[in-house]
A and B are shown apart, each in its own frame.
Chain A
Amino acid sequence: NAGVMQNPRHLVRRRGQEARLRCSPMKGHSHVYWYRQLPEEGLKFMVYLQKENIIDESGMPKERFSAEFPKEGPSILRIQQVVRGDSAAYFCASSPESLGEQYFGPGTRLTVT
């Protein structure tokens, strides 16, 4: 059973470009969380999704950030018009149930130049 997959592992974007981060949950998991880890800071919750539904997006910045988890395919975290402050490691985690044990992917390290 493959673990949580994230791609790309490293992403470089210029200011103003769009960043798309992908997360494929573990097989059988229909719950996905996204977190952001800024340099030298802890993990911060961004959003929790179930298939086709955003359940809790209280940690997402109001502008430029969006997330989806379609019926088919990976979950996507999209950042429009990136700024230098968006440079961070973005992790997703999947779970077999709501508030269940979370399994993390290796993360996507976004660098905005």
Chain B
Amino acid sequence: KQEVTQIPAALSVPEGENLVLNCSFTDSAIYNLQWFRQDPGKGLTSLLLIQSSQREQTSGRLNASLDKSSGRSTLYIAASQPGDSATYLCAVPTSGTYKYIFGTGTRLKVLA
């Protein structure tokens, strides 16, 4: 059974800091992994999708890495800004199914 854990649950940093969010999953036979952000009361915005054959993906100030063998992904945010404040979620499909399992998220607050 796939389980997804995100650490830390909450994070508060001053503007300009580089930071790392962690996502761990128990079943390494994943097809891909997707990172999202969710603003309060809103839907999810896709940030990055990493296929199982990839080691990392980059988009602007965001870089996501994937280490399947250790069941881990990290989302690196460079030069954080107050607009980055949101909850960040990772999701992976359960092996052999289309059922995506979401982590409980990291609530990020970037202080001006």
Complex CA–CA separation, A58 to B98 (angstroms): 10
Q: List the A side residues contacting B28 at CB < 8 Å.
A: none
Q: Whose C-beta in chain B lies nearest to the C-beta of A59?
A: B99
Q: Is the interface of B mostly helix, strand, loop or mixed?
A: strand
Known contacts: A42-B102, A48-B99, A55-B98. The answer to whether A107 contacts B43 by CB under 8 A is yes
Residues of B at under 8 Å CB distance from A?
31-32, 34, 36, 42-46, 49, 89, 91, 93, 97-105
Decide if B98 touches A103 in the complex (CB within 8 Å): no
Residue from A43, A44, A99 in contact with B98 in the complex, judged by beta carbons closer than 8 Å: A99
Complex CA–CA separation, A35 to B60 (angstroms): 28
Residue from B31, B46, B100, B105 in contact with A33 in the complex, judged by beta carbons closer than 8 Å: B100
A45 CB within 8 Å of chain B: yes
